[in-house]
C-alpha cells in the first residue's frame, strides 16, 4: 500500500468539486483534536490513533501542546475520504489563542463544530460560532462525548437552538447514552450503525432493523427532519404538502443547498475517544459542506482604482490568495500559509503583494501535515499551502498577479488585554531576545511588543496569562533566550468624554536655521471600540501638505503614551483645522512635536478617563457552592448576567473587570473544594470607577 505521504502527492489533481476545506472548531476540551486524530486514522492519513493523554497526537505537535494537552496553534493537513480531498485545519479551543481561530475561519469553506454532550453550548463555542457567522462559514455539529456521564443529546440540541440561534437538522438518533452508548441510527436511511466489534472503530455494523424502543423516536425525528428540509425548497414543499413521498437523494440535495445557504445545521453524535460515530460525520462533510465551486466568486477591491473586483474560484482565473498565517520553522525558516482562491501558484515564480505594493518570490511550495512537510511544484485553486521565501508578506495580506491586482478583505483581530514586563538575563540574551520577540510577533497578530525607554524594560501584550506564558516558554525553547518576567498587568486604555480644542506651538531658535511648527486640533469622543480617526480640515494652505503626515505621526505617538497614566488613548476623532508655518524654519520634526503637544493639551481639557477590560466569565459549579460564588463575584465588581441549570450543576454568567480576577482559579478551588471550574474571555472595555482610577493614576505617576 502506498504511504499516506505519496498518496497525497499522487491524488492532488482531484476535481475542485471533490475538495473540502474544513476546520474543526469548539470550546476547550470538547474533543476537537481527538476527533481530528480519528479522522486522520479512518482516512488512512496516520497508521495509529494519536492520544492527547499520552502526548502522541499528530496535530498537537508542539512540545507545549503535548505537555499541556491543549491546542495552541492551528495545524493544517490534507487527507482523503472516498475519493474526496479534505484540507483540514484543527483550531485551538482556548480563548487566549482566538487569533488562530479567527484566521482559520477566514480561509475555510466549511466547519465541524464539536460540542460536549454533557456541557452543551459553552462560552467559547458561542464565540467561535459567531466568528464563523461573520465569515459566513456553513457548518455541521458533532455532539461528542455521548459516553460521558450526564450526556444529554436532546438538551444539547436545545442549547444549540437557544444559545446559537441555529436551525438544526437532526440527522441521527443515538443508540443508548453514557456507558451504554453503542452507535447511532441514520434517520434518512433508517439504518442502525453499531460500533463494538472493532476496538479502533474503523469497522462498524450496519443493521437494517431498528431497536423496538427507538422506532417511534426515529419516525418522529424523520418526520421533523423532512419537514425542515422541505421548508427550505419550494418544489419539495409542494410535493410534501401534496402528500408525495420524498426520495432520499432529493432530500440530501435540498439539505446540501440549505446548509450552504446557512439555513440549516445538520447534527450528528458520537464519542471520538471511544472511536464511535466519526465516519458519518466524514460522509456529511462530503454530502453537505461546500466545495470551492459551490461558493460565490471571491470579492475584493482593485488597489489602483478602488473599484470592486471578483475572481472565480477556478485554476483558469488570474491567481489570488490570502496569507493567513506565518510560522517560524527551525528547518526552513519563515513559512507563510496561503489559501489559494483562484489560479495556480508555481514554485520559483514571482507574485505581487497588493497590500504592500511589493513583488515576492516563491522559493518553495510545501503541503503541510501538522509539522511535516512535502514539497510540491505547483498549487491550485482551493488549496491551502505553505510558501517559503516571502519577505514582506504578513498575516492578512493578499497575494495576486501584478497585471490584475486585487485586495481581499483583511482579517480583524481583537486587542490584547494583559501585559507583562520582560528583561533578558544576560548580555547574550539581550541580542537574541529582540530577534525572538520580532519573530513571535510576526507569527501572532495578537502579540504586541513595546519598549519602555525610561525603565529599559520591554513590555509584551497578549490575550491572557496562558498566552504570554506560552510565548515566554517558546522564547526559551525555540530561541534559547533566558528572561526575567514581571507579574501580569491589566491593559488599561485612556479616552476622552467631551469635545475640546487646543493649539500646539513648537519654536526653537538656536543660531542658524530654527524650528517652527504650529497647529490647532479639535478632539471629540467616539463610541466604545470605534478606534481613532484623523480628519484633515486644512483649507487654503494654512499648513503645507507635506507637513500634515508629520502632524498625524506626532498625534499617534502622543496617543500611544496617553495623558493620565501613560496608557494608550483610544476611541476619539482628531481634526486638524488650522495652523501657521514659516517659509524657512518649518520642518517635519517641528510639526510632529507641535501635533504631539496640541493633542496632549486638548486631551487634558476633554475630561480624560481610564478604561479597563471587562471579561465574560462562566463559572460551572455544583448547586451547594452557588451562593458563596455569587457573593464572591459581587465583591469583585461583577455584574451577574444570569444562571443556567444543567442537571446537577449551575452555570453562572457574569461580566467581571479583569483587574479583579488575579488568582481567581485558586480562590474558586478553595471555595468549592476543587469542584467548580471557570472560563473567561474578553468582552469589552468599560470606564473605571473614579475612586479606583485615582489609585491607578497615583501608582503610575
Q: Which CATH number fits domain 298-408: 2.40.50.1070, 2.40.30.10, 3.40.50.300, 2.40.30.110?
A: 2.40.30.10
Query: Which pLDDT score is estimated for 99?
Result: 66
Residue 597 is inside which H or E element, if any?
A: helix 588-604
Residue-averaged pLDDT of the chain: 84
Helix (H, G, I), strand (E, B) or coil at 127: helix
Pick the closest to residue 594 from 524, 507, 513, 500 (CA basis).
507
Query: Which pLDDT score is estimated for 85?
Result: 86
How far, CA to CA in Å, does 10 sit from each of 44, 76, 369? 15, 19, 15
Cα–Cα distance for residue pair 199/127, rounded to 1 Å:
35
Point out which residues pair with 687 in neighbouring strands. 611
How far, CA to CA in Å, does 297 sit from each of 311, 379, 410, 606, 619? 5, 19, 17, 47, 43
Fold that domain 4-294 belongs to in CATH: Rossmann fold (3.40.50)
Per-residue pLDDT reduced to its tens digit, 623-634: 889 999 999 999
* C-alpha cell, 579: 495652523
Which CB contacts under 8 angstroms, 24+ apart, belong to 425-429? Answer: 425/482, 425/483, 425/484, 426/482, 429/481, 429/482, 429/483
How far, CA to CA in Å, does 686 sit from each of 162, 566, 635, 696? 28, 18, 18, 15
- In terms of average pLDDT, the best of 6-20, 318-332, 480-494 is 480-494
* C-alpha cell, 503: 493649539
Structure confidence at residue 13 as a pLDDT band (50, 70, 90): low
Q: Tell me how far the alpha carbon of residue 244 is from its chain's centroid.
A: 45
Pick the closest to residue 470 from 53, 57, 54, 72 (CA basis).
72
Say yes or no to pLDDT of 96 above 80: no
Give residue for cell 480617526.
533
Which CB contacts under 8 angstroms, 24+ apart, belong to 186-195? Answer: 186/280, 187/218, 187/221, 187/222, 187/225, 188/222, 188/225, 188/248, 188/251, 188/252, 189/248, 190/218, 190/222, 193/277, 193/279, 193/280, 195/274, 195/275, 195/276, 195/277
Q: Tell me how far the alpha carbon of residue 403 is from its chain's centroid.
A: 32
Point out which residues pair with 309 in neighbouring strands. 300
Query: Which pLDDT score is estimated for 639?
Result: 94
Say yes or no to pLDDT of 675 above 70: yes
* C-alpha cell, 317: 482565473
Mean pLDDT across 248-264: 91
Say yes or no to pLDDT of 269 above 70: yes
Structure confidence at residue 90 as a pLDDT band (50, 70, 90): low
Mean pLDDT across 613-623: 89
Pick the closest to residue 292 from 184, 371, 384 (CA basis).
384
How far, CA to CA in Å, does 637 sit from each of 419, 491, 509, 657, 667? 22, 18, 54, 7, 16
* C-alpha cell, 239: 410535493
Mean pLDDT across 295-324: 89
Query: Which pLDDT score is estimated for 282?
Result: 92
Say yes or no to pLDDT of 64 above 80: no
Domains 4-294 and 298-408 agree in fold: no
Structure confidence at residue 436 as a pLDDT band (50, 70, 90): confident
b or e along 139-149 (b: 16 or more beta carbons within 10 Å of the residue's beta carbon)?
A: bbbbbbbbbbe
Mean pLDDT across 61-73: 45
Q: What is the pTM of this model?
A: 0.73
Structure confidence at residue 336 as a pLDDT band (50, 70, 90): confident
Say yes or no to pLDDT of 56 above 50: no
Query: Which pLDDT score is estimated for 433?
Result: 86
CB 312 within 8 A of CB 381: no
Percent of the chain with pLDDT over 70: 89
Pick the closest to residue 595 from 642, 558, 560 (CA basis).
558
* Domain residue ranges of the chain, discontinuous segments joined by +: 4-294, 298-408, 418-489, 494-606, 612-700
CB 368 within 8 A of CB 4: no
From the CB of residue 561, how many other CB atoms can be counted at a distance below 10 Å? Answer: 16
Pick the closest to residue 681 from 701, 695, 661 (CA basis).
661
Q: What CATH number should be reported for the domain whose range is 418-489? A: 3.30.70.870
Say yes or no to pLDDT of 148 above 70: yes
Say yes or no to pLDDT of 548 above 90: yes
Say yes or no to pLDDT of 600 above 90: yes
CB 462 within 8 A of CB 447: yes
Say yes or no to pLDDT of 468 above 80: yes
Mean pLDDT across 429-448: 82
Cα–Cα distance for residue pair 58/162, rounded to 1 Å:
35
φ, ψ (nearest 5 deg) of residue 307: -85, 155
Per-residue pLDDT reduced to its tens digit, 376-396: 888 888 888 889 888 888 888
Q: For domain 494-606, say whether CATH 3.40.309.10 is its number.
A: no
From the CB of residue 303, how many other CB atoms can be counted at a distance below 10 Å? Answer: 16
Q: Which residue has the higher pLDDT, 443 or 64?
A: 443
Mean pLDDT across 534-557: 93
Say yes or no to pLDDT of 61 above 70: no
The CATH architecture assigned to 612-700 reads: 2-Layer Sandwich (3.30)
Query: Which pLDDT score is estimated for 210?
Result: 82
Q: Which letter does DSSP use for residue 271 in this model? A: B
- In terms of average pLDDT, the best of 3-7, 242-246, 557-561, 680-684 is 557-561
Say yes or no to pLDDT of 480 above 90: no
Mean pLDDT across 189-217: 82
Amino acid at each position: 500500500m502506498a504511504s499516506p505521504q505519496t498518496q497525497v502527492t499522487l491524488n492532488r489533481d482531484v476535481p475542485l468539486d471533490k475538495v473540502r476545506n474544513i476546520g474543526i472548531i469548539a470550546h476547550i476540551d470538547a474533543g476537537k483534536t481527538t476527533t481530528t486524530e480519528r479522522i486522520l486514522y479512518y482516512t488512512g492519513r496516520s497508521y495509529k490513533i494519536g492520544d492527547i493523554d499520552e502526548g502522541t497526537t499528530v496535530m498537537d505537535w508542539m512540545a507545549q501542546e503535548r505537555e499541556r494537552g491543549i491546542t495552541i496553534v492551528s495545524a493544517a493537513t490534507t487527507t482523503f475520504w472516498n475519493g474526496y480531498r479534505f484540507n483540514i485545519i484543527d483550531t485551538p479551543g482556548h480563548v487566549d489563542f482566538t487569533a488562530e481561530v479567527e484566521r482559520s475561519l477566514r480561509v475555510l469553506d466549511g466547519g465541524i463544530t464539536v460540542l460536549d454532550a454533557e456541557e452543551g453550548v459553552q462560552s467559547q463555542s458561542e464565540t467561535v460560532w459567531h466568528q464563523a457567522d461573520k465569515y459566513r462559514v456553513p457548518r455541521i455539529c458533532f455532539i461528542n462525548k455521548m459516553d460521558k456521564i450526564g450526556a444529554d443529546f436532546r438538551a444539547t440540541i436545545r442549547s444549540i437552538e437557544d444559545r446559537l440561534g441555529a436551525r438544526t437538522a437532526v440527522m441521527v438518533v443515538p443508540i443508548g447514552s453514557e456507558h451504554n452508548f453503542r452507535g447511532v441510527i441514520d434517520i434518512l436511511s433508517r439504518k442502525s450503525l453499531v460500533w463494538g466489534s472493532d476496538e479502533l472503530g474503523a469497522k462498524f455494523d450496519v443493521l437494517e432493523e431498528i431497536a423496538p424502543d427507538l422506532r417511534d423516536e426515529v419516525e418522529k425525528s424523520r418526520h421533523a427532519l423532512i419537514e425542515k428540509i422541505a421548508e427550505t425548497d419550494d418544489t419539495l414543499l409542494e410535493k410534501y404538502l401534496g402528500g408525495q413521498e420524498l426520495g432520499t437523494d432529493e432530500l440530501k440535495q435540498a439539505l446540501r443547498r440549505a446548509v450552504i445557504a446557512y439555513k440549516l445545521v445538520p447534527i450528528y453524535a458520537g464519542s471520538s475517544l471511544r472511536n464511535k460515530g466519526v465516519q458519518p460525520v466524514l460522509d456529511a462533510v462530503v454530502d453537505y459542506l461546500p466545495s470551492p465551486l459551490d461558493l460565490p466568486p471571491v470579492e475584493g477591491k482593485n488597489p489602483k482604482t478602488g473599484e470592486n473586483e471578483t475572481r472565480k474560484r477556478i485554476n483558469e482565473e488570474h491567481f489570488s490568495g490570502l496569507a493567513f498565517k506565518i510560522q517560524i520553522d527551525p528547518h526552513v525558516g519563515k513559512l507563510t500559509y496561503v489559501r489559494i482562491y483562484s489560479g495556480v501558484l508555481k514554485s520559483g515564480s514571482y507574485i505581487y503583494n497588493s497590500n504592500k505594493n511589493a513583488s515576492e518570490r516563491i522559493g518553495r511550495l510545501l503541503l503541510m501535515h501538522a509539522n511535516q512537510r512535502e514539497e510540491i511544484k505547483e498549487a491550485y485553486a482551493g488549496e491551502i499551502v505553505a510558501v517559503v521565501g516571502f519577505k514582506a508578506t504578513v498575516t492578512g495580506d493578499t497575494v495576486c498577479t501584478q497585471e490584475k491586482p486585487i485586495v481581499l478583505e483583511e482579517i480583524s483581530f481583537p486587542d490584547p488585554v494583559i501585559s507583562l514586563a520582560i528583561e533578558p538575563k544576560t548580555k547574550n540574551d539581550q541580542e537574541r531576545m529582540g530577534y525572538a520577540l520580532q519573530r513571535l510577533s510576526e507569527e501572532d497578530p495578537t502579540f504586541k511588543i513595546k519598549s519602555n525607554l525610561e525603565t529599559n524594560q520591554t513590555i509584551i501584550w497578549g490575550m491572557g496569562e496562558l498566552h504570554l506564558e506560552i510565548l515566554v516558554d517558546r522564547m526559551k525553547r525555540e530561541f534559547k533566550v533566558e528572561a526575567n518576567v514581571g507579574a501580569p498587568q491589566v491593559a488599561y486604555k485612556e479616552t476622552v468624554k467631551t469635545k475640546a480644542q487646543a493649539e500646539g506651538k513648537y519654536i526653537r531658535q538656536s543660531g542658524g536655521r530654527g524650528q517652527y511648527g504650529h497647529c490647532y486640533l479639535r478632539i471629540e469622543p467616539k463610541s466604545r471600540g470605534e478606534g481613532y480617526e484623523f480628519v484633515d480640515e486644512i483649507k487654503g494652505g494654512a499648513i503645507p501638505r507635506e507637513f500634515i503626515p508629520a502632524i498625524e505621526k506626532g498625534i499617534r505617538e502622543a496617543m500611544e503614551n496617553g495623558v493620565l497614566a501613560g496608557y494608550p488613548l483610544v476611541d476619539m476623532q482628531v481634526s486638524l483645522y488650522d495652523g501657521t508655518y514659516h517659509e524657512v524654519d518649518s520642518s517635519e520634526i517641528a510639526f510632529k512635536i507641535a501635533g504631539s503637544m496640541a493633542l496632549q493639551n486638548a486631551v487634558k481639557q476633554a475630561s480624560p478617563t481610564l478604561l479597563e477590560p471587562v471579561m465574560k466569565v462562566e463559572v460551572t459549579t455544583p448547586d451547594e457552592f452557588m451562593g458563596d460564588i455569587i457573593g464572591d463575584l459581587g465583591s469583585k465588581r461583577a455584574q451577574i448576567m444570569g444562571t443556567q441549570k444543567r442537571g446537577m450543576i449551575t452555570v453562572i454568567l457574569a461580566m467581571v473587570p479583569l483587574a479583579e480576577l488575579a488568582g481567581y482559579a485558586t480562590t474558586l478551588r478553595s471555595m468549592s473544594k476543587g469542584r467548580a471550574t471557570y472560563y473567561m474571555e474578553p468582552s469589552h472595555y468599560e470606564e473605571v470607577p473614579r475612586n479606583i482610577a485615582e489609585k491607578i493614576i497615583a501608582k503610575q505617576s
